[in-house]
Amino acid sequence: MKEQVAQLAKILKESSNIVFFGGAGVSTASHIPDFRSSDGLYSRKLNRHFTPEEAVSHSFFLYHPEEFYEFYKQNLVYPDAKPNACHESLAKLEEMGKLRAIVTQNIDGLHQAAGSQNVYELHGSVHRNYCMKCKAFYPAEYVLQAEGVPKCEKCGSIVKPDVVLYEEGLDDEVISGAVNAIAAADTLIIGGTSLVVYPAAGLIRYFHGNHLVLINKTPTSADRQADLLIQDDIAVVMKEAVEKMERL
Catalytic annotation, residues = 123
Q: Do residues 196 and 221 touch, judged by C-beta distance below 8 A?
A: yes
Residue type for position 216: N
Please tell me whether the peptide bond between 83 and the residue prior to it is cis, using omega within 30 degrees of 0.
Answer: no
DSSP three-state, residue 124: strand
| Cβ neighbours for 20, distance < 8 A, ≥ 6 positions apart | 90, 99, 101, 102, 103, 188, 189, 191
Rg (CA), the chain: 19
CA distance 59 to 119: 28
Q: Do residues 170 and 122 touch, judged by C-beta distance below 8 A?
A: yes
Q: To the nearest 10°, the Cα dihedral for 59, 65, 71, 74?
A: 140
Nearest alpha carbon to residue 207 among 233, 226, 230: 226
CA distance 66 to 61: 8
- H or E element at residue 18: strand 18-22
CA distance 107 to 125: 4
